[in-house]
Structure 1
């Protein structure tokens, strides 16, 4: 029997995984594999770099920028859902499957370390758009309803931000995980933001706060140099 047309078409899917058990570890077991009915017709990939300039009152031109670091990849895509054919299942069920990635997993709640799942968008052999990350945004537009108000068509917009598995606080020249780093505050910085960047856990900001005797994690003076302990140095206080 001849293969039906489209049987060899690579189907896009979203892999939803348990968050890492500890900082620097890889994602845990797969919670759900959400296969898309229709492949996206457009993907938007962005990656940023961060630069810092120190204003010079005497220089006629702008000061040379200082490279601070490379930002994560961000992927945005739209997923079309259609349940006008009864064999395609429920639109709301598919949306609920995707929304699993927006809330803490039962396993992380049981360990008293709430964290939402990590995700990975997979589509055939694509590499630049396939990376471990977290769902940073999720929205749904319903466009068709049954006579009883049940949604029959919807478009889901997903935003995925790359999550690194590099061991935070590690000095590449020494290989020691207990190396302490420093961070110079720039406008807009906060301790939860810094903790997420360094440890992969925004709730670990207390480690940095205690090391620098900071009371308010949201108010940091630009230019201040903060001590960033290795994660193991402050785990007992989290």
Structure 2
């Protein structure tokens, strides 16, 4: 038997951009579970002269990575929130990027570049004074691809035609920038194109004009 495969690598995050670029965030414990999700995307089309609609396949969306992480401070008597604190380097908005920074999750042969989309804390054990001592973190990373790498495989938009997109409920300008340009920092270009002063105060259902490729160069 090859006992090398039984050696446990320590899971960690590596910040890929922003003020904490190349910063490593090792985890206290390796994840007890993780999952990936892949979706086939369809657009609804109406045909003139016919009732109803048809669903047209538009492509496959890259997988998200869902992680469950455990933290425990019962052996030290400390506050478990202090162990969680380093994760905020990839969760909070980086003021140099105006968005959470992209990161890489590394565990053995698994390597996933993504941006934190959801981050949920659940405290499951407390000391007698109410200090949390054990926590479970559930988080989802959406795939991150550099703009230059994406452009090599596909031209995301015409060089002279702008696109229109509708802001759906639960969506944000940052999400739209990531989907369209693979860069959440591009929200500024979209905001400028549409005369938006506050990206967090946009009514759902608003139709937004996305800058063409030529406008972003």
TM-score by length of 1: 0.66
Question: Are 2:69 and 1:79 aligned?
Answer: yes
Question: Are 2:9 and 1:10 aligned?
Answer: yes
Question: Are 2:45 and 1:54 aligned?
Answer: yes
CA separation of 1:72 and 1:64: change in aligned 2, threshold 3 A: closer
Q: Which residue in the other structure is 2:194 paired with?
A: 209
Gaps spanning 5+ residues in structure 1: where?
Answer: 1-5, 22-27, 211-215
Matches within 5 A, 1:1-238: 8-19=7-18, 29-31=21-23, 33-56=24-47, 58-59=49-50, 62-63=53-54, 65-67=56-58, 69-86=59-76, 90-105=79-94, 108=96, 113-126=97-110, 130-167=111-148, 170=151, 179-183=159-163, 185=165, 188=168, 192=173, 193-199=175-181, 200=183, 201=185, 202-209=187-194, 219-220=205-206, 228-230=211-213, 233=215
Do the aligned partners of 1:169 and 1:180 also contact (CA within 8 Å) in 2? no
Q: Show CA shifts across 1:124-167 (max 9, x none).
A: 012xxx22111111111111122332221111111111122133
Q: Secondary structure at the match of 2:178?
A: helix
More strand by share: 2
Q: Give the RMSD, CA atoms, in angstroms.
A: 3.8
Do the aligned partners of 2:73 and 2:133 also contact (CA within 8 Å) in 1? yes
CA distance in 2, matches of 1:217, 1:94: 38
Do the aligned partners of 1:15 and 1:119 also contact (CA within 8 Å) in 2? yes
Q: Which residue in the other structure is 2:199 paired with?
A: none
Higher Rg: 1
- Alpha-carbon offset, residue 58 of structure 1: 3.9
Do the aligned partners of 1:180 and 1:228 also contact (CA within 8 Å) in 2? no
Q: Secondary structure at the match of 1:134?
A: strand
Q: Secondary structure at the match of 2:146?
A: coil
- Alpha-carbon offset, residue 11 of structure 1: 2.0
Gaps spanning 5+ residues in structure 2: where?
Answer: 196-201
CA separation of 1:51 and 1:121: change in aligned 2, threshold 3 A: same
CA distance in 2, matches of 1:188, 1:18: 28
Q: Show CA shifts across 1:1-28 (max 9, x none).
A: xxxxx99212222223324x9xxxxxx8
